[in-house]
Structure 1
Amino acid sequence: MKRERWIGLVVISVAVALIIVDSTIVNVAIPAVVDDIGITSTEVQWVQESYTLVFAAFLLLFGALADRYGRRLVMVLGIAVFAASSIAAALADSGSALILARLVQGLGGAAILPTTLSLINANFQGRERGIAFAVWGSTIGGMAAVGPLLGGWLTTDFSWRWAFGINVPLGVLIIIGVLLFVPESRAEHDRPIDWVGALISVVASGSIVFGLIEGRTYGWWTVEQAPAVGDWTWPWELSPIPIAFAVGILFVAIFVVRARIRHRAGRPVLLTPDLFGIRSFRNGNIAAAIVSLGEFGIILALPLWLQNALGYTALQTGWVLVALAGGSFLASGLASALISRFSALTSVRAGIIAEILGLALIGLVIAVDTPWWAICGGLFVYGFGVGLATAQLTNVVLHDVPVARSGEASGTQSTSRQLGSALGVAILGTLLFTSLELDLGQRLEGTPGADQVVAAVVDSAGAAIPGIEAQSAAAADAARESLSSATSHVAYAAAGFLGLGLLATLGLGAARREADAAEPAEAREAGAPAE
């Protein structure tokens, strides 16, 4: 029985890998998609971001559904939806068909992630629980790096369609493994689902994530690029972004007030307020959101820099990023020894410090002539930190949550991370392109056609540099220098956010040893201490 639990953990981790790889693999495949089916720049953006938008919006709902109807059941259904929509994506012959498939993929992903967390929370206790979360977290860190490598290989040697098609056989194998080795788990009570609360949460999360993702494109206040759907174009000078934020904040307020009123009346709610009376859950979610501002921020900028400043291919870029995966998997291998000696919270803090150090090393060595091994060293240290911090922070957040409410809590924790990640991407993306624009403008000041060169480099995220070199080698060299400088700034900024996240972990209290803090599953099923 014990061996089956660990095999089940491997299957659960592969399920996480499925959705993490898909979120990174698409970025590498996009140029081939454009060449093959001729999608527009607007469609390119939505192919990449529609998945994230739906994924973040539905995490809370699927967490609650998992508690009510069975965590394994919801996970299997999510994998099935994900695989089926991957077939549709692989066969898409237009931008609209591909976007629709990606939206459905987001639904499948939202059903998978919180259920993997809640199943681990239900099936492992004590020191084993910390090891299980380490394996889960290292899988996330490793697959975020392996995704571009896999995408580059499939796109280069086969077709971009296999970047989606690979999900189908993997999905079938995962479903078989889940049914064989992962026991079903659900709450003992049959609490009805708060469907109105679910709708409010979808609107709130979706609006905020939309604003964070699209702010740089459409304009944070006034329209810089008018959104268009078919023949309809946004007609106002005011950008849709502040409206999206206003709607999101309003619906968050409605959600909170409504949940408090219904909870006091003894009526079902999607997220019960008393969960936030658990100190580790409340403060842990705050810390997780802040840490997510910095985590994976470098993955946004590094591929652009490696390919457009150093001239690497997509496959070569993927190989460089494998160093991150190596560090993350090493952390997973050392998890047992670390957790037996130190607390989960100590591992979190050590991991964040390693991430900060890795990002600082990367920021220091970035230049137009940086050798690949210099970047790999910083990425390895960073990946090691991700393997420690990501998993054990989740462990800390869910430690005192009753097993009966694992899905609800896991959906909340996943949503916090997604909102933090979206905010981090928005801030770091804005920093990258603003820094690139200002630095290149200064380097080319007084040069004929400087404004056009700057606009071309910024709008293409550096992809226009080879074309510029054919006309002016000096301008192309300046663009590479500026892109290198901007990428270095992003690395330092991401490290700064992680520093804030490290400070936020102080609110989690004194570290304690996981083995000493272990308690019987029956006790955790019954309830959790509130403060």
Structure 2
Amino acid sequence: MNDIAPSRRRWWGLLFISIAVALIIVDSTIVNVAIPSVVEDLDLNSTQVQWVQESYTLVFAALLLVFGTLADRYGRRRVLLIGVVVFALSSILAATAASGELLIASRLVQGIGGAMILPSSLSTINATFRGRERAIAFAVWGSTIGGMAAVGPLLGGWLTTYYSWRWAFGINVPLGVIIVIGILIFTIESKEPSAQRRVDIVGAALSVVLFASLVFALIEGRSYGWFFSDTPPAFWTWDVSPIPFAFALALVSGIVFVRWGFARERAGKSTMLAFGLLKIPSFRNGNIAAMIVSLGEFGIILSLPLWLQNVLGYDALQTGFVILALAIGSFVASGFAGAFGNKVTPVTIVRVGIGAEIVGVLIVAFALSPDAQWWHIAPGLFIYGFGVGLATAQLTSVVLKDVPLSQSGQGSGTQSTARQVGSALGIAILGTVLFASLGTGLDAKLADRADIPTEARTQIVDLVVDSAGTGISALDAQSPDAAADARQAFTDSTRYSALAAAGFLAFGFLASLRLDAGRRGDDDAEGTAAGESSATTSET
């Protein structure tokens, strides 16, 4: 059969694929706005706050390669559907969680579902569309990511304010049902029958160990100590902190993963990472740029909702409306990219997008103050969202433009992994910057107050940091001056986190200079299609 469905059907299929992508992107951002309510309800500490985010992102990043490969071999639509079902069912667990530990566990399962959805959605689009239509389809896919990253906080704010934070997860269930029905009706199955069916189990295990140990070290370093430990975990009996050992484990497993992969590739066996694709300059350099950019892209979404609610006193819905400026910027960018996509190269659009992100983050960083108003923040968020909308889809197009169709699942899995690894590391690093600088800054401010003894100062710092800022309001009744210091310290730490994000984005811009400008978007897409072997597709 033809590997392309009738025109109307495949565009309807793209709609439901985009909704599936929106599901996982919204969920990864909707939690940020709901976090203060979750902290209050489940009594989370600041480390658990990071793990609510990181447990999802970590598993997501670790398994993208696995499911990208499985999608190529056993059916892209099949893996996509299973992913939606897993995601919806785990959302029920998250919505009914009675403790922070149960919420984190359900987020781990959600990460498995998300890791099935993202690479299979990309490879399905890559196998279904050609030429100009492929460029449009990638633009829709990328704009969905950019837009939903900001719509998520608005939706989460509305649900949290008028219902409960639990509905921020519960809403995934009816959406999952709609997605499953739409995909069954409007998309076709595609797979690569020539691909080897045996999965590289050792490579998969090594990749999980690599990402898990690295993110664990980055998040827990401030809690357990970067070298020596005053507060070691219960399972640790040495004076030296477990963090250096976690970093060492990440390094060793990374080296073994690469050597193992090259050895299997030389033997003609399947590998988790498409090492052969790294010989393609656009694929190699594009993935490097994507990972570095992702380090900074979502840092502002991590810290800003906490600052808006805990310092300015906004509720969740008001916070969502402020961050809506980011979504508006992203949607405007999608129209801009559509109008100029055939006139300038994708790489140029990527560079303009990253540049706009840097400018937007800097505007937000320098607009932060305990007395700021929403209109001081919104312009920077709009410019930042505009940059996200420009860069996301076009960078995906650059990365995959020379990848053969038979390896589209591995290619999309690799580039998605690069982004998610960057996001995971970004959340871990920027979260550490946020909370570490908050503790240090607040302690220094309180030390200048003679009326606050050392023991009380330590208790106040622990309260503010461990509650991720939600404890600031409780200080108003006890010590207004200490509460004012806490708001200023939280503002300063949010600014440091934003500046760190801008620094990562600047490195990403420098990395994009290594990308070949090539031809315009249409030509690239057509060139990719030429000479590709057709994937076998069948109606199901």
Same fold by TM-score, threshold 0.5 exceeded?
yes
Q: 2:407 aligns with which of 400, 405, 418?
A: 405
Q: Structure 1 residue 351 and structure 2 residue 353: aligned?
A: yes
Q: Structure 1 residue 515 and structure 2 residue 525: aligned?
A: no
Cα distance in 2 for partners of 1:107, 1:464 equals 33
1:316 alignment partner in structure 2 = 318
Cα distance in 1 for partners of 2:132, 2:490 equals 45
1:269-308 aligned at under 5 Å gives the runs: 269-308=271-310
Q: 2:264 aligns with which of 259, 262, 265?
A: 262
Q: 2:27 aligns with which of 22, 26, 36?
A: 22
Deviating more after overlay: 487-496 vs 436-445: 436-445
Shift of 1:391: 1.4
1:114 alignment partner in structure 2 = 119
Cα distance in 2 for partners of 1:429, 1:337 equals 37
Cα distance in 2 for partners of 1:66, 1:42 equals 34
AA paired with 2:111? G
Cα distance in 2 for partners of 1:38, 1:483 equals 20
Change (3 A) 1:473 1:511: farther
1:221 alignment partner in structure 2 = 227
* Deviations 1:352-381 (CA, angstroms, capped at 9, x unpaired): 111111112112221122221121111011
Gaps of 5+ in 2: 1-5, 536-540
Cα distance in 1 for partners of 2:19, 2:350 equals 23
1:3-402 aligned at under 5 Å gives the runs: 3-33=8-38, 46-192=51-197, 193-223=199-229, 225-228=231-234, 233-402=235-404
Cα distance in 2 for partners of 1:51, 1:515 equals 36
Shift of 1:526: 7.6
Change (3 A) 1:224 1:399: farther
Cα distance in 1 for partners of 2:42, 2:473 equals 24
Q: 2:477 aligns with which of 470, 489, 513?
A: 470
Report which structure shows greater RCO (CA 8 Å, sep ≥6).
Answer: 2
Shift of 1:428: 2.0
Deviating more after overlay: 140-149 vs 314-323: 140-149
Change (3 A) 1:426 1:152: same
* Deviations 1:22-80 (CA, angstroms, capped at 9, x unpaired): 22223443454455566777766544432222212111100100010111110011101
Cα distance in 1 for partners of 2:66, 2:320 equals 34
Contact 1:400–1:524 (8 Å) recurs in 2? no
Change (3 A) 1:24 1:195: same
1:524 alignment partner in structure 2 = 532
Deviating more after overlay: 292-301 vs 203-212: 203-212
Contact 1:217–1:224 (8 Å) recurs in 2? no
Cα distance in 1 for partners of 2:245, 2:534 equals 43
Cα distance in 2 for partners of 1:35, 1:382 equals 30
AA paired with 1:155? T
Cα distance in 2 for partners of 1:33, 1:436 equals 20
Contact 2:135–2:522 (8 Å) recurs in 1? no
Indicate the SS of the match to 1:525: coil
* Deviations 1:133-171 (CA, angstroms, capped at 9, x unpaired): 222222222222222222222233223332222111101
Identity of paired residues, percent? 61
Indicate the SS of the match to 1:340: coil
Change (3 A) 1:13 1:237: farther
> How many residues of Structure 1 are paired with residues of Structure 2 in the alignment?
523
Indicate the SS of the match to 1:185: strand
Shift of 1:18: 0.8
Deviating more after overlay: 271-280 vs 5-14: 5-14
Indicate the SS of the match to 1:523: coil
Cα distance in 1 for partners of 2:222, 2:408 equals 36
Cα distance in 1 for partners of 2:430, 2:45 equals 25
Gaps of 5+ in 1: none
Cα distance in 2 for partners of 1:38, 1:489 equals 26
Q: Structure 1 residue 430 and structure 2 residue 435: aligned?
A: no
Change (3 A) 1:131 1:413: same
Cα distance in 2 for partners of 1:128, 1:302 equals 37
Change (3 A) 1:85 1:443: closer
Contact 1:130–1:344 (8 Å) recurs in 2? no
1:448-459 aligned at under 5 Å gives the runs: 448-449=451-452, 451-452=457-458, 453-459=460-466
Change (3 A) 1:104 1:520: closer
